[in-house]
Amino acid sequence: MHDDAPPAGSGPPDSGPPALRIALGGQLRRLREAAGISREAAAGTLRTSPARIDGLELGRELGRGGFTTRDVDDLLTRYGVADDRYRALARRATEPDWWQSYHDLLPGWAETYVGLEQAASRIRTYEVQFVPGLLQTADHARAVIRLVYDHAPEVERRVELRMRRQALLTAPGAPALHAVVDEGALRRTVGGPAVARAQLDHLLALSELPHVRLQVAPFHFGGHAAAGGPFTILGFTEPDLADLVYLEQLTSALYLDAPSDVAHYERVMDRLCTQVEPVGRTGAILASIRAEL
């Protein structure tokens, strides 16, 4: 995800981290079912429709323009649940998170990705054209963003957003990141040779982190399992968050969370990792490309 999607519309962003809304929704569904209460009965408690209860339990109806923490409290009372942990989770799920201050730059589908990325415990990605956004230097990110935007204040805010996303890699409990990057992305001198060399140095430093694995798909390998294009797989430890595949397009994105789809992309990633250069060769490849720039 490169943060260079077209800007969002004028509508307000969803409130709260998507991951927390999804987690709370799943827990509310389990509590309702354990209490033997139907969707219709739950809907009656809030004087709404069963379809909106479905939306709440899927993490789509909580926050601005949707259900409130008072509504969640009323449901918990109906379910006979006195545990304040659920009420605390509801409050957290409706609090704006840091990325919402950039909602004017991010359409809803991209804002959702940022929220899920922050909650992921595993990130596996294959990139063809650019270095993955989480691994870019500020100068490289600035050059990439300027391919689409030329308004300086907007460019700098997008660079700032990308750098803030990267903070998760050095935070406590950082996700395990495994990236396979096409050689073409590493040789593409976006921003000029000096920026490209600094980017390669940055990749080398990041690849030495214990939770970061970086592999290169070299030109001479020809075809491979991921010939269909770039993708990212997000994995979660939270049981109510299903692993998903993110496929970014120019003006939208696809989120695939069907178990069969996720399993297919996991197999593709597994095959790709065995077909390209092993992790142990990454440092030498980066150094060789750098020497040629």
Q: Greater confidence, 190 or 17? A: 190
Q: Half-sphere exposure of residue 151, counting CA atoms within 13 Å on the CB side?
A: 7
Q: Greater confidence, 38 or 148? A: 38
- Walk across the sheet containing 253-256 and list its strands: 212-217, 176-182, 122-127, 231-235, 244-248, 253-256
Structure tokens at 267: 């197999």
Alpha-carbon span 60 to 235, nearest angstrom: 20
Alpha-carbon span 25 to 50, nearest angstrom: 14
Q: Say yes or no to pLDDT of 98 above 70.
A: yes
pLDDT in tens, 182-234: 999 999 999 999 999 999 999 999 999 999 999 999 988 776 666 778 999 99
The pLDDT assigned to 14 comes to 45
Largest CA-CA distance found in the chain, in angstroms, rounded? 68
Q: Say yes or no to pLDDT of 9 above 50.
A: no
Q: At what angle do helices 50-57 and 39-46 cross, to 10 degrees?
A: 100
Q: Half-sphere exposure of residue 195, counting CA atoms within 13 Å on the CB side?
A: 15
pTM above 0.85, yes or no: no
pLDDT in tens, 41-73: 999 999 999 999 999 998 888 876 789 999 999
pLDDT in tens, 136-179: 999 999 999 999 888 888 999 999 999 999 999 999 999 999 99
If pLDDT is split at 50, 70 and 90, which confidence band does 89 have? confident
Alpha-carbon span 58 to 71, nearest angstrom: 16
Structure tokens at 62: 């909580």
Mean pLDDT of 26-38: 94
